[in-house]
Chains A and B, each alone.
Chain A
Amino acid sequence: MTETGLTMLNRTADGVARATPEPLARRVRGMSDKGLAWLFISPTILLLLAINIFPLIWAIQLSFTNYRANRPNELVKNVGLSNYQRILNDPDIWIAMQTTAHFVFWTIVLQTLIGFSLAYLIDRKFRGHAFWTTIILVPMMLSPAVVGNFWRFLYQPQIGLFAYAVSFVTGIPPTQIEMLSNVSLAPWSIIIVDTWMWTPYVMLICLAGLRSIPEYIYEAAEVDRASNWRQFWSITLPMALPFIMLAVLFRGIENFKMFDMVNLLTGGGPGSTTEVASITLKRQAFESWRTGYSSAFAIILFVAVFGLANIYVKALNKVKQR
């Protein structure tokens, strides 16, 4: 910082100190830096404790009971690990987990491929690239409720544009393109919408990665007469990889707990074809009111996401250190 800058900062600090009411200033004056730091972060910590940690501890406690929130007068019994045992032996839960895994896998693959490709194109800085970047970003700025509802109309086999577009290309009558009713197509209908909505997010992270690569590395590669293909594999991809992995981590965690889009588009149907883990959890917790059981399921999901994310972050750190 320049000397002028420092002087200005001191003047501002003096101004703030003079403006502080005397009783407060007296109290703060006697505090150590550590005490002051605690003073500033304590409201956030208290809030976190109240809305995150306390419910988590409570849910852990409830997961060992037969508690049902709709029967407040019933005696709550400790059932040990039986809720966990029942969940892990329930074939429906495993089907829901498989559905979730299928959904997470394909959304991540598609979003990463398309997101990175878009970022690579946008990074070329062609004419009007700023305009196109804004256009591409629009879907992720919309509310999931809005997106879910309008895609439901787009998928409508009688009046939906999607059915007509597919019909135009394939020649299949639009009324036969039942994206949300067909068992084979319904999971893909959700994957398409999620990819449409969240690819721009992956693109943004990848773009940040591409823009962080120093220009001189490419210049050195040019001097060494490295081909574009070689530059992509040896410079662009390795250097952008930590960013891509970060995007995968964020989307993976988000999609593991995906609820809104599935609920709005298919409600878990047809049958249980698109019933992901979060939909099962909601049904157990707020429709069947099996509070103890659903708490155990929530803890299992939490441990699974937390564990997988931790392993992934370690891998990410290794890539960054290379």
Chain B
Amino acid sequence: MKPLSKMTLGLASALLASTAISNVAQAEDLTLCWAAWDPANALVELSKDFTKESGIGMKFEFVPWTNYADRFLNELNSKGKLCDLIIGDSQWIGGSAENGHYVKLNDFFDKEKISMDDFVPATVVGYSEWPKNTPNYWALPAMGDVVGWTYRKDWFEKPELQKEFKEKYGWDLAPPTTFDQLKQIAEFFQKREIDGKTVYGASIYTERGSEGVTMGVMDVLYSFGFKYENPDKPYEMEGFVNSEGAVKGLEFYKALYDCCTPPGSSNSYMGEGVDAFKSGQVAMHMNFAFTWPGLYKDEAVGGDKIGFFVNPKETAQFAQLGGQGISVVSYSEHQEAALKYIKWFANKDVQAKWWSLGGYSCLKAVVEDPGFPASQPYAQTFLDSMAIVKDFWAEPSYASLLQASQKRFHDYVVAGNGTAKDALDGLVKDWTEVFQDDGKM
């Protein structure tokens, strides 16, 4: 063979081999789908260890929260193969389990000795089980989250404000433990001049388009006595959804919106809340716990200037659950590799690193570690909040149920149409129709 032909043959073989290797590598790659937010960046960092250990490459598909549900529910409904692993919202679990989008993980957990008893119970019920409170698992709890509050510690500690507040309300200016206290503090700060700037009482959820106003209202309503249904008779909502306490709770939320939010807060959710707090507009800020690490690190409002507190109480004390579980998509062609990732992710060391990077672990071994409360300034608030969580419906029709509550709550709280009783009566009517359509009533 001539030298030139040899060289050509050698080059061709090398090219062929490299293409083949790259194809093998691509075939082993996993795509993980989630929302585009801070914890997702932490997960990218964390997943490098998985690639190092297993040789399986990781690709990520992150979509902003505003399009997250639309984008990925479309993907699942069309039986798309884009996502091998998905960190889906807690409310998707019913629909995704019943429509066969997620792989049931019971056998896998048994085989790999992954026990759901090792995870915080509220996260197992919220993120993994369908039907609720039955041992049918469709996800591994991945990212614990809950609605809580941040406040401007530096403002609260100003002696002149403390003195004025005590004179006005008769108690020390401190993080509120009841909703009445929260409103008093919000009123106190509303339109106050601090450091030459007009500030406002509180930033709360009012967003209309996706789930914002519902998450905010529910976060308050639970503690006022709202229940989704009769505990003894599923889907019976009359007198529970529109109970006297629930009406009071909704009236409280509207009063808080009317008195104490910054101007133009009629469509505010996670991002707008963070902006309001970071720009020094508000004294208190309702938001999911995932925002806390970022706010704590913020140069302008973080560090010593920020404090955290659990959702206040009324007749009871509850908080709205956020967060998600990680599931294997049943249409994935790489289910084996995806299950390997789940097994790796459930490991205690990985979970500990997940927390240290800014993710919220749901593993008891991590959150019940004696050093956990002191590990971050917000760790104890997170733990206390996770102990009192409740979640929205996770039924397959959750989207219709959510849309009805978005409309009813926004119509009353922001647009000021009708009364709180009208809004909740209307909600019972809407939700009844949805369950009747589903044949559940």
For residue A139, CB closer than 8 A to chain B, the reply is no
- The interface-forming segment of B151-159, B257-265, B364-372 is B257-265
**Do the beta carbons of B416 and A69 come within 8 Å of each other?**
no
For residue B335, CB closer than 8 A to chain A, the reply is no
B263 shortest CB reach to chain A, Å: 4
Whether A183 contacts B416 in the complex (CB less than 8 A), given A269-B266, A271-B410, A287-B399, comes out as: yes
For residue A272, CB closer than 8 A to chain B, the reply is yes
Whether A271 contacts B414 in the complex (CB less than 8 A), given A157-B263, A287-B399, comes out as: yes
Whether A157 contacts B264 in the complex (CB less than 8 A), given A72-B77, A271-B410, comes out as: yes
For residue B180, CB closer than 8 A to chain A, the reply is no
Categorize the interface residue count of chain A. 20 to 34
Question: Of A157, A269, A283, A290, which one neighbours B414 at CB under 8 angstroms?
Answer: A269
Tell me the bound Cα distance from A215 to B69 in angstroms: 60
What are the interface flags for B371-391 relative to A under an 8 Å C-beta threshold, 1 for contact and 0 otherwise? Answer: 000000000000000000000
Q: Which residues of B contact A228 (CB under 8 A)?
A: none
Whether A268 contacts B263 in the complex (CB less than 8 A), given A181-B414, A290-B400, comes out as: no
Whether A71 contacts B99 in the complex (CB less than 8 A), given A156-B264, A180-B267, comes out as: yes
Question: Of A92, A158, A269, which one neighbours B410 at CB under 8 angstroms?
Answer: A269
Q: Which residues of A contact B207 (CB under 8 A)?
A: 267
For residue B162, CB closer than 8 A to chain A, the reply is no
Tell me the bound Cα distance from A73 to B414 in angstroms: 39
For residue B46, CB closer than 8 A to chain A, the reply is no
For residue A178, CB closer than 8 A to chain B, the reply is yes
For residue B79, CB closer than 8 A to chain A, the reply is yes
Tell me the bound Cα distance from A163 to B130 in angstroms: 50
Q: Which residues of A contact B403 (CB under 8 A)?
A: 283, 287-288
A16 shortest CB reach to chain B, Å: 42
Q: Which residues of A contact B98 (CB under 8 A)?
A: 71, 73
Tell me the bound Cα distance from A180 to B73 in angstroms: 30
What are the interface flags for B181-204 relative to A under an 8 Å C-beta threshold, 1 for contact and 0 otherwise? Answer: 000000000000000001000000
For residue A175, CB closer than 8 A to chain B, the reply is yes
Q: Which residues of A contact B407 (CB under 8 A)?
A: 92, 271-272
For residue A132, CB closer than 8 A to chain B, the reply is no
For residue A78, CB closer than 8 A to chain B, the reply is no
For residue A289, CB closer than 8 A to chain B, the reply is yes
B257 shortest CB reach to chain A, Å: 10
State the B residues within 8 Å of A (CB).
Answer: 69-70, 73-74, 77, 79, 95, 98-100, 198, 207-209, 262-267, 281, 396, 399-400, 402-403, 407, 410-412, 414-417
Q: Given contact pairs A69-B77, A266-B208, A271-B208, enumerate 8 new A-B contacts (beta carbons under 8 Å).
A: A73-B99, A180-B266, A183-B416, A269-B267, A269-B415, A286-B70, A286-B74, A289-B399
